[in-house]
Amino acid sequence: MSRFLSAKYKKLVPYTPGEQPKDMQYVKLNTNESPFPPSKKAQEMAAETAKKLQLYSDPECKILRDKLAETFGVKPTQVIATNGSDEILNFAFMAYCDENTPAAFADITYGFYPVFADVNNVPYELIPLKEDFSINITDYFNLGKTIFIANPNAPTGMALSKNQIAEILKNNPDNIVVIDEAYVDFGAESCVDLVKEFDNLLVTQTFSKSRSMAGARLGFGIASEAVISDLNTIRYSTNPYNVNSMTLAAGYGVLCDEEYTKANCKKIAENREWFVSELKELGYEVLPSLANFVFAKNERLGGRETYLKLKEKGILVRQFEKERISQYLRITIGTKEQLKTLLSALKEILEETK
Nearer of residues 206 and 212 to ligand PMP, judged by Cβ: 206
Nearer of residues 185 and 298 to ligand PMP, judged by Cβ: 185
Minimum Å distance from CB 71 to ligand PMP? 17
Footprint (CB under 6 A) of ligand PMP, residues 7-36 = none
Minimum Å distance from CB 218 to ligand PMP? 7
**How many other C-beta atoms lie within 10 A of the C-beta of residue 100?**
8
What is the edge-to-edge ordering of all strands in the sheet holding 329-332? 284-286, 293-298, 329-332
SS3 284: strand
- In the list 81, 122, 143, 150, the residue contacting ligand PMP (rule: CB under 6 A) is 150
Minimum Å distance from CB 144 to ligand PMP? 24
Cα torsion angle, 272, 273, 278, 281, sign: positive
Minimum Å distance from CB 87 to ligand PMP? 7
Nearer of residues 206 and 247 to ligand PMP, judged by Cβ: 206
Distance between CA atoms of residues 51 and 255, nearest Å: 21
The letter for the amino acid at 318 is R
What region does 26 belong to: left with phi over 0, alpha with psi -120 to 50, or beta?
beta
249 within 8 A of 118, measured Cβ to Cβ: no
Establish if 154 lies at the interface with ligand PMP (CB under 6 A): yes
CA atoms within 13 A on the CB side of 167: 12
First to last CA, the chain: 46
Distance between CA atoms of residues 3 and 66, nearest Å: 47
Distance between CA atoms of residues 346 and 136, nearest Å: 33
Residue nearest to ligand PMP according to CB distances in the complex: 84
**How many other C-beta atoms lie within 10 A of the C-beta of residue 302?**
15
Distance between CA atoms of residues 213 and 64, nearest Å: 14
Minimum Å distance from CB 240 to ligand PMP? 19
Nearer of residues 181 and 230 to ligand PMP, judged by Cβ: 181
Nearer of residues 234 and 349 to ligand PMP, judged by Cβ: 234
Cis check for the bond before 155: say yes or no (omega within 30 of 0). yes
Footprint (CB under 6 A) of ligand PMP, residues 52-111 = 84-86, 110
- In the list 206, 210, 245, 332, the residue contacting ligand PMP (rule: CB under 6 A) is 206
Q: Residues 163-192: x/- map of binding to ligand PMP (CB under 6 A)? A: -----------------x-x----------
Q: Residues 301-320: x/- map of binding to ligand PMP (CB under 6 A)? A: --------------------
Establish if 244 lies at the interface with ligand PMP (CB under 6 A): no
Minimum Å distance from CB 346 to ligand PMP? 24
What residues line the site for ligand PMP (CB under 6 A)? 84-86, 110, 150, 154, 180, 182, 206, 208, 214, 219
